[in-house]
C-alpha cells in the first residue's frame, strides 16, 4: 500500500474516533445511580478560576469537546497530507513520526484512564501512520539520493 492510502485510512479512522468520542463521551448520558449522582455533583459544584465561575462538569465537558475538535482537525489534516504524500511522502516522515508517537501516548493514556475502544482506535491510527512512513521510506530508497 502507498503512503496516500495509509494517510486516508488514518483520516477516516480519526474522524470516526471523533464522532464516537462526541456521541458516546461528550454527549452521552450517565447511567442511573452512581453515574447520574456524580454528574449532578460535578454540575452543582462551582468555583472561581481566573475571574470566572465554572463547575467541574464545565471543565469535563469543555475538555471533551476540545478532544473532539483536535481529533476532527487531525482527521482533516491526515486527509490533506494524503494528497501531499503523492509527491512528497518522504518529506512528510518527520511530521508523521510526531503523530505516531502522539497516538501511541494517547493509546497508553486511554488504556490507563478509559477503556479498550479508544485504545484500539489509537493503535490503528498509529499503525496507518507508521505504514505511511514505511511506504515513504521504500519510495525514498527506490529513488536514491536527491540532487540539489
Q: Any residues with CB less than 8 A from the CB of 111 and at least 6 apart, and which?
A: 119
Tell how far CA 88 is from the center of its chain: 23
At residue 148, the pLDDT reads 47
Residue range 99-123: average pLDDT?
97
- Which percentage of the chain shows pLDDT scores above 90? 91
Domain spans of the chain, in order of start? 3-28+58-143
At residue 137, the pLDDT reads 80
pLDDT, one tens digit per residue, over 26-68 is: 999 999 999 999 999 999 999 999 999 999 999 999 999 999 9
Taking the whole predicted model, whether its pTM rises above 0.85 is answered as yes
Amino acid at each position: 500500500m502507498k503512503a496516500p492510502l495509509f494517510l486516508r485510512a488514518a483520516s477516516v479512522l480519526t474522524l470516526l474516533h471523533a464522532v464516537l468520542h462526541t456521541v458516546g463521551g461528550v454527549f452521552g448520558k450517565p447511567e442511573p445511580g452512581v453515574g447520574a449522582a456524580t454528574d449532578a455533583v460535578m454540575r452543582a459544584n462551582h468555583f472561581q478560576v481566573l475571574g470566572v465561575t465554572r463547575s467541574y462538569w464545565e471543565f469535563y465537558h469543555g475538555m471533551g469537546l476540545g478532544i473532539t475538535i483536535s481529533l476532527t482537525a487531525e482527521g482533516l489534516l491526515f486527509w490533506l497530507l494524503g494528497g501531499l504524500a503523492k509527491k512528497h511522502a518522504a518529506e512528510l516522515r518527520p511530521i508523521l513520526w510526531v503523530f505516531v508517537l502522539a497516538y501511541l501516548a494517547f493509546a497508553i493514556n486511554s488504556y490507563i484512564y478509559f477503556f479498550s475502544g479508544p485504545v484500539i482506535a489509537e493503535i490503528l491510527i498509529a499503525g496507518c501512520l507508521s505504514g505511511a512512513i514505511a511506504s515513504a521510506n521504500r519510495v525514498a530508497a527506490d529513488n536514491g539520493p536527491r540532487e540539489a
